[in-house]
Structure 1
Amino acid sequence: MKLKKRFTLSLKNNLRFIPDEAYMRMYFKAKLHYEPDFENPKTFNEKLQWYKLNYHNPVLTQLADKYGVRSFVEELVGAEYLVPLYGVYGSVEEIDLEKLPEKFVLKCTHDSQSTFVCTDKTKFDFEEAKRRLRVALGRNWYWQGREWAYLDIVPRVVAEAYLDEPGRETPTDYKFYCFDGKAALVQTDADRFTNHDMQYFTPEWEQRGDIDREISSHNPTEKPENYELMLELSEVLSAGFPHVRVDWYNIGGKPYFGEMTFYTGGVDPFYALEAQPDALDRELGQLFVLPCGESSDEPLGKGGLGDGDA
């Protein structure tokens, strides 16, 4: 994680004395440069803030947990789509490097910034990884964006298989923005830690734009093999939730589940190819149907979830 990001995380953690709604309004205005309407939200970003404040479905704690969600995926679509797991650890001291293969990935289950990729044990700085993972395990991710689902996740570290996509240091992410079981937008992220290329597509794989520019400076991401299967699986996993983003990798035509994210982006601009730069933000907002009432805590979604692993 870059120094600027680490400073930002520390700053947000120290602002926990600010009430949730006030914090969200302040952060929203700083990022998007307009006052949000939380009482009558219309854009996708406005509705995400309402979601954080009011949609407290207890199942979200399990599904936002990168380890806890595995049982949900296995029950609904099958274990064959899960990235092979080498270990789950409550502390960095439990990680035995000797027992891990030559290539692997370490990441925290309760945040979105603590991922360490090892492609060569002889060059991997394990002590630095442990130091930073130890810091991450002591951080409650809820305070970064007041994202309710992360509040009660038990911090852990998982060791997973390294997914090798030819020509790339890290595999391309395929992220499906779903609304009550229907995908509306696909985001691709290639070379995230080097020359990051983020693009948007329709479910029919027509290019829409990207997050930084109205027209990407990169060539359009190629439609992956078995794309329709990833789309189908995403819609199965997202059924019953007003909004969730379902992430996948695709290695040699085989989909591998990444994660489920209920507060995608937190607060992000959406630049489309259309004349209006906020067209996607408004379009997704129309598809994002919020639960009735001021709060929602009834379990939704399929799968007959019990207490789960979170």
Structure 2
Amino acid sequence: MRLKKRFALSLRNNLCFIPDEVYMRMCFKAKLHYEPNFANPKTFNEKLQWCKLHYHNPELTRLADKYGVRSFVEERIGAVYLVPLYGVYGAVEEIDLDKLPEKFVLKCTHDSQSTIVCTNKAKFDFENAKKRLRTALRRNWYWQGREWAYKDITPRIVAEAYLDEPGRETPTDYKFYCFDGKAALVQTDADRFTAHDMQYFTPGWEQRGDIDHEVSDHKPTEKPENYELMLALAEKLATGLPHVRVDLYNIAGKPYFGEMTFYTGGGFDPFYAAEEQPDRLDRELGGELKLPKTSTAGACNER
């Protein structure tokens, strides 16, 4: 992680004295440049802020936990779609490098941006990795954007299999924006740590050329041969939730579960449209998100 980003994360952790709504309003205006309406939200980002303040379904904590969610995935679609797990650790001192394979991935279960990839154990800087992970374990990700689902996740580290996609330094991420169990938008991210290639598609795999938000000028991502299966898996995992972004990988024709995200970009993502109304996509997705009638909700029940 770059020094500037690390400093920003540290600063936000020291602003926990600011009330949630005040903090969220400050960040919202700074990043999206308009006054949010939290009382009567219309845009996608406004509604994500409302969810952070009011939609406190206890199941979200389990689903946002990168280890806890594995049991949910196994129950809902089967363990066959889980990335192989090598270990779960409460502290960096518990990690035995000798017991890990040549290639693997380390990441914290309670945050974002703490993923560490090893593709050559002989050249792996384990001391630096442990230092980064120790810092991440001390951080409560909730304070970065007041994302409620992260507040009570138990900080842990998992070691998972490295997913090797030929021709890619990191596997392509397929992100399904689902609302009430139905996908409305698909985002693809390839080589996100190097030459980032981001694109958007409809659920029917038609490229959304009207979106201008960080979209690359690369040729369109090819539709996976098993795309219909991936779409079905994402929607099954999303069933019973007002909104969730389900991230999947596709390795050698087999889908693998990545994570479930409830507040894309912390609710501060511009979602620019390539036209005169730059907030149109933000409003379009906002129309898809039907807010629950109550401030809290029970378990995520499959319908």
CA deviation map 1:93-151 (0-9, x unaligned)? 00000000000000000011100000000111011000000010010000000000100
Native 8 Å contact 1:198 1:211 kept in 2: no
CA distance in structure 1 between the partners assigned to 2:276 and 2:228 by the alignment: 30
Native 8 Å contact 1:199 1:211 kept in 2: no
Partner of 2:99: 99
Native 8 Å contact 1:208 1:272 kept in 2: no
Does the residue aligned with 1:195 lie in a helix, a strand or coil? Answer: coil
Q: Does 1:271 align with 2:266?
A: no
Cα shift at 1:272: 2.9
CA deviation map 1:150-184 (0-9, x unaligned)? 00000000000000000111101000000010000
Native 8 Å contact 1:59 1:299 kept in 2: yes
Does the residue aligned with 2:36 lie in a helix, a strand or coil? Answer: coil
Equivalent position amino acid for 2:281 in 1 = L
CA distance in structure 1 between the partners assigned to 2:113 and 2:302 by the alignment: 28
Give me the CA root mean square deviation.
1.3
Q: Does 1:16 align with 2:16?
A: yes
CA deviation map 1:64-113 (0-9, x unaligned)? 00000000000110000000000000000000000000000000000111
Does the residue aligned with 2:121 lie in a helix, a strand or coil? Answer: coil
Partner of 1:203: 203
Return the TM-score normalized by structure 1.
0.94
Q: Does 1:176 align with 2:176?
A: yes
Structure 1 gap ranges (5+): 304-310
Q: Does 1:298 align with 2:298?
A: yes
Structure 2 gap ranges (5+): none
CA distance in structure 1 between the partners assigned to 2:186 and 2:80 by the alignment: 22
Q: Does 1:154 align with 2:154?
A: yes
Partner of 1:135: 135
Partner of 1:7: 7
CA distance in structure 2 between the partners assigned to 1:301 and 1:201 by the alignment: 28
Native 8 Å contact 1:76 1:237 kept in 2: yes
Native 8 Å contact 1:118 1:124 kept in 2: yes
Cα shift at 1:208: 1.6
Structure 1 residues 211 and 125: CA distance shift in structure 2, 3 A: farther
Does the residue aligned with 2:220 lie in a helix, a strand or coil? Answer: coil
Partner of 1:306: none
Cα shift at 1:275: 4.3
Does the residue aligned with 2:264 lie in a helix, a strand or coil? Answer: coil
Partner of 2:288: 287
Partner of 1:308: none
Native 8 Å contact 2:196 2:216 kept in 1: no
Equivalent position amino acid for 1:276 in 2 = Q
Cα shift at 1:54: 0.2
CA deviation map 1:171-229 (0-9, x unaligned)? 0100000001000000111101101111111101112255635x632221111221111
Partner of 1:253: 253
CA deviation map 1:20-61 (0-9, x unaligned)? 000000000000000000000000000000000000000011
Native 8 Å contact 2:212 2:274 kept in 1: no
